[in-house]
Structure 1
Amino acid sequence: MDEVKQIVTDIRNGNLKPIYFLMGEEPYYIDKISDYIEDNVLAEEKKGFNQMVLYGRDISVDDIVSNAKRFPMMAERQVVIVKEAQDLARQIEKLAAYAENPQPSTVLVLNYKYKKIDKRKALYKSIKKTGVVYESKKLYDNQVADWIRRVLSGQNYSITPKAAQMLVEFLGTDLSKISNELDKLKIILPKGTEISAEQIEENIGISKDYNNFELRKAIGERNTLKAFQIVNYFADNPKDNPMVMTVSLLFSFFSQLLQFHGLSDKNPRNVASALKINPYFVNEYTVAARNFPMRKVSAIVETLRDFDVKSKGVGANAIPQGDLLKELLVKIFN
């Protein structure tokens, strides 16, 4: 995120590079940088003749070079943006010769999503000398809630830990989807608002009471009644609550709980650091550890491995996922 801010700041200050190669598994920041260049480098009246958007599936590297070598018309520079440049993966190294000596009046932007170029080869080395190579790495599940908080803080909003966790569990690690949902909230909520679980439920449609976050908590507390209520809700709404996601999140929780049991220092700060969780959730692990000793946790982890396979249809094709989840809860609580 800091690297993105620096790239945007440099562009805003007029410190433009002739090539921006934006690559990696997470498309969100690739789009952010590319869109910023598209919207801000040229004045609106200059864009008609001096800004073009190309698509990798429709062109070759030779086409890119040909367009990049053009001189701008009645302007200081031109902008050439190549979207879906990953479709040129087989020939992208041919761009190395241009990258060695790029046209100084052209800003060439390549959006190379979900892939990255070989850093040992000539193209990467050439662009590093003359331009910018940005690699957008996918965030891990345990990093996304912090990302949500940082993004909202920069826009004068905040969010409760539970609300952030609800977004992560419902939307996964897709930053673009999460950003779109946050944008909807910002339309209706004034700046300075702390976004709550209730507001997430009302405006995005994620239940604050019947979700994987609450299921995990109920299991940790050995609250069988609440756990089965949540699972029954999942069984009635399978599209919004796929079993494979539930099993994955429970596997992560009990794996962390196993790690918790092995910690010699169970100070909340040390637990949060070791388990890579928000300190807000440490008490849940403390409670769950009292209810599930290490030997039982190890058995549950093995059970979850078995149900992970079943949730994907192996050996349980004819069994409704709701029934599988109920069977899983019985095994966890026994």
Structure 2
Amino acid sequence: MMDYKALLKDIKNGDFKPLYVLHGEEPYFIDLISDAISENAVDESEKDFNLAVYYGRDIDALTLMSEARSFPFMGTRKVVIVREAQDMKDIYELEKLLPNLVESNILVLCHKYKALDGKRKLTKEIANVGVNFKSEKVKDYNLTEWIASYVRSEGYEITSKAASLLGEFLGNDLSRIVNELDKLAIVLEKGTKISDVHIEENIGISKDYNVFELVNAIAIRDTLKAFQIADYFEKNPKDHSIIVVIPSVFKLFTNMMRVHFASNKSPDAIASSVGLHPFVAKELIRNCPNYPPKILARNVEILHQYDLKAKGVGNSSTSDGQLLKEMLVQILN
């Protein structure tokens, strides 16, 4: 993926291209870049005349080409932004525009949630005249580091546990993560090291009773703690569905299986092959003897059974909380 930070730096330094095609699964980067262009490419006093924003469902390729070729009014450049460009029915017709771009203008296409067809002429030739930015999801194993990097860029620090809590609770929804961190920035002074206590007090994620801690308890076979957390989940079901728990436990067991059959079991080798931080890989290696391969295979089958039950297959009355406790009894024994 093109470095979005380098692209933002160019935009803020006034190094603009006539075309930006921002497409892919991660909407956060697309919004970030398009907002930076609208903020930096046109003076505030000119935006009424030289900043045009459309939505894909409301514009066709021919109209957009005409708009993109029109000259700025009483200014140096015109910016045309198409939000939700994935809703344009004839977007690939824009290939006709590429040889005829107005150098003083900027056209921005925000094509969210999926990438453009790489086999089409439009997609292949974007980079010849502008920027082809494919916005990809941050991988789960990189999410904690991405959170830490974002926090540092905002003038704060964060503990690894706090970053892991955010990642486990919010998933790789970057917009939601940034929104929660921005709320923290309102109440914390610059330079503060964000801890799990800050997360619990201001975002509402329990530092002791969460999926992250449950998976850790399962990994070390701490039955008492696992059932304490399960009891808390049962009493607070809104944010603790078994449907959320099962994928995290499945990831633990599949990673353990990979460690068991790895030829090189050093922390660095496991970190590289499994896609984990070296510290996390070291913990994984340490806990693997708790679950021999036969037990792991059995537990993966148990997870599959309870995933079906949680979705109503063969279960019409048992609550999420009770299902979780039943599942823990089986995988911890």
Q: TM-score range by the shorter chain?
A: over 0.9
TM-score after normalising by structure 2:
0.95
Tell me what 1:40 maps to: 40
Partner of 2:239: helix, strand, or coil? coil
TM-score after normalising by structure 1:
0.95
Alpha-carbon deviation of 1:77? 0.8
Partners of 2:112 and 2:70 in 1: how far apart?
Answer: 26
* Range 229-238 or range 19-28, more displaced: 229-238
Partners of 1:305 and 1:86 in 2: how far apart?
Answer: 35
Alpha-carbon deviation of 1:105? 2.2
Partners of 2:233 and 2:146 in 1: how far apart?
Answer: 28
Alpha carbon RMSD of aligned pairs, Å? Answer: 1.6
Over residues 140-170 of structure 1, what are the superposed CA-to-partner deviations in whole Å (9 max), with x where a residue is unaligned?
Answer: 2212111111112223322111111111111
1:143 partner letter:
N
* Range 138-147 or range 269-278, more displaced: 269-278
Partners of 2:282 and 2:237 in 1: how far apart?
Answer: 30
Tell me what 2:209 maps to: 210
Tell me what 2:176 maps to: 177
Contact 2:220 2:290 in 1 (8 A): yes
Contact 1:220 1:287 in 2 (8 A): no
1:112 partner letter:
H
Contact 1:81 1:108 in 2 (8 A): yes
Q: Are 1:66 and 2:47 counterparts?
A: no
Tell me what 1:120 maps to: 119
Partners of 1:124 and 1:289 in 2: how far apart?
Answer: 46
Cα distance change, pair 190–103 in 1 and its aligned pair in 2 (3 A) = same
Gaps of 5+ in 2: none
Partners of 1:314 and 1:301 in 2: how far apart?
Answer: 17
- Could you tell me the percent identity over the aligned residues? 47
1:60 partner letter:
D
Partners of 1:192 and 1:13 in 2: how far apart?
Answer: 26
Q: After superposition, where does 1:241-252 map in structure 2 within 5 Å? A: 241-252=240-251
Tell me what 2:295 maps to: 296
Partners of 2:130 and 2:148 in 1: how far apart?
Answer: 31
Partners of 1:123 and 1:290 in 2: how far apart?
Answer: 53
1:271 partner letter:
I
Alpha-carbon deviation of 1:283? 4.6
Q: After superposition, where does 1:168-317 map in structure 2 within 5 Å? A: 168-317=167-316
Alpha-carbon deviation of 1:115? 1.8
Contact 2:2 2:134 in 1 (8 A): no
1:166 partner letter:
L
1:47 partner letter:
K
Over residues 80-113 of structure 1, what are the superposed CA-to-partner deviations in whole Å (9 max), with x where a residue is unaligned?
Answer: 111111111x310111101222122211111000
Q: Are 1:100 and 2:106 counterparts?
A: no
Partner of 2:295: helix, strand, or coil? helix
Partner of 1:108: helix, strand, or coil? strand
Tell me what 2:26 maps to: 26
Alpha-carbon deviation of 1:6? 2.1
Contact 2:24 2:115 in 1 (8 A): yes
Tell me what 1:55 maps to: 55
Partner of 2:328: helix, strand, or coil? helix
Contact 1:272 1:278 in 2 (8 A): yes
Partners of 2:107 and 2:219 in 1: how far apart?
Answer: 53
2:211 partner letter:
N
Tell me what 1:333 maps to: 332
Gaps of 5+ in 1: none
